[in-house]
Amino acid sequence: MQKKDLGLAILIIVVGAVVYLRNPLFLSPINLGNTANLVGLFGIFAIGQGFVIMTGGIDLSVGSVIALLGVLFVEMVGGYAVPWPAAVAITIALGALIGLAHGILITRFKMQPFVVTLCGLLIYRGIARGYTAEATAGFPFGASYPQLEWLTIGRSYGIPHSFIAMIIIAVVMWFVLHQSVFGRHLYAVGKNDEAARFSGIRSGFVITSAYVICSVLAAVAAIYFAMFTKSVQPSSHGNFYELYAIAAAVLGGFSLRGGEGSIVGVVLGAVLLQELQNLVNLLGIPSSLNFAVMGTVILLGVLADQQLAAYRAKKRAAQAFERLQSERVES
C-alpha cells in the first residue's frame, strides 16, 4: 500500500469513528450492508474513470452512459424478453463501442477528451430520453429474474454482491495497471505522451484502451444500477455520477495531470465518498448539501495533489542541487 493509500485508509477510519460517536447506527449491520452496496455500485465505474485520468484525460459521459445502457438493458430483458446473459453481453459490447468511439476521436482526430466526453454526456442522455419519450423504463409488473437478481442485488453472508463484484474487478484491474506491460505503458503515456511515442509505445492504442475500459465498467455498473433501482428514469438516472467517479479517483491519488494513481486508492476513495454521504444522512445534515460536500472533497483533493506535486518538485530540485555541489567539491 502506498503512503497516499495508507493516509486515505486512516482518514476513513477517523471519519467513521467520529460518525459512530455521534450516531452508533453507523456500525449497524443494516447500515454497513447498505453502504457497502453503494460503495460497490459507485466503485465499479470509478475504477474505469481512474484509467482514463491516468492518461491525462477525463470522461464526463459516465453518468449518461449508465442511463442509456440502463434503459437498453431494461428494455431488452423486460420488453423484448432477451435472455439476460445475452442482454448483459450486448450491454457490455455497447459500452466497449462507446469507449472505442471516444478513443478514436481523441487519438485519431486529436479532439480534446473534455469536448468529446462532454458531447457524449449530452448525446447519450438525449438518446435515452428520446428512446423512452421521457417515460420511465422498467420491468413488467411481477416479473422476476432469480439468477440475475441474485448476481446483482443478492447478498452472501450479508455482503452485497455489488461490493463483491467491485472487489473482483479491482483485483483484476490492479494486475492490469500495476503488474502488466500495458499498465507500465499507461503510466508512461500519462507522464509524457510524446516521450512514450518516441520510446516505441503505441500511445494511441493505450489511450483508446483506457476509454474502452472506462465505458465497459460503466456498462457493468449500468446493469447493477438498473437491477438495484428496478427502473430507469433517463432524465435523472446517473446524473452527476461522473463527478463521483472523478472525486473517488482524485481522492485515491490519481493526478488529473496523468501518470499517477493506484487501484487501491480509487477503491478507498469510493469508500470515503459513500462514508461522507452516510455521514450527511446519519447526522441529519440536509441532503441538499450532498453536492456541496462532494465539491469540497474534489477541491481539497486537487489542492492536496497540486501541493504534493510542488513539494516533490522542490525536493527533487534540492537533491539535484546537493548532488551538483558534492560533485564540485570532489572535483
Reported as a single tens digit per residue, the pLDDT across 139-164 is 998 888 999 999 999 999 999 999 99
Is the residue at 311 inside a domain? no
Is the residue at 300 inside a domain? no
pLDDT cut 70: percent of the chain above it = 99
- For residue 24, what are the domain limits? 3-285
**Which pLDDT score, from 0 to 100, does residue 263 have?**
95
| DSSP code per residue over 69-133 | HHHHHHIIIIIS---HHHHHHHHHHHHHHHHHHHHHHHHTS---HHHHHHHHHHHHHHHHHHHHT
Q: Confidence class of residue 91 from pLDDT cuts 50, 70 and 90?
A: very high
Total domains in the chain come to: 1
Is the residue at 190 inside a domain? yes
**Does the pTM of the predicted model rise above 0.75?**
yes
More confident residue, 233 or 300: 233
| pLDDT tens digits, 272-306 | 999 988 888 888 777 777 778 777 877 877 787 77
Over residues 7-33, mean pLDDT: 90
- The mean pLDDT value of the chain amounts to 92
Is the residue at 48 inside a domain? yes
| pLDDT tens digits, 195-232 | 999 899 999 999 999 999 999 999 999 999 999 999 99
Closest CA to 239 of 129, 84, 74: 129
Q: Confidence class of residue 1 from pLDDT cuts 50, 70 and 90?
A: low
pLDDT at 239 over 90: yes
| pLDDT tens digits, 164-184 | 999 999 999 999 999 999 999
Q: Confidence class of residue 331 from pLDDT cuts 50, 70 and 90?
A: low
pLDDT at 318 over 90: no
**Which pLDDT score, from 0 to 100, does residue 292 have?**
82
d(CA 239, CA 128): 13
**Which pLDDT score, from 0 to 100, does residue 166 have?**
98
CATH number of the domain enclosing 235:
1.10.3470
Is the residue at 327 inside a domain? no
Over residues 121-127, mean pLDDT: 97
**Which pLDDT score, from 0 to 100, does residue 255 have?**
86
Q: At what angle do helices 62-74 and 203-229 cross, to 10 degrees?
A: 50
Is the residue at 326 inside a domain? no
Is the residue at 215 inside a domain? yes
Is the residue at 330 inside a domain? no
Q: Is the Cβ–Cβ distance between 86 and 146 less than 8 Å? A: no
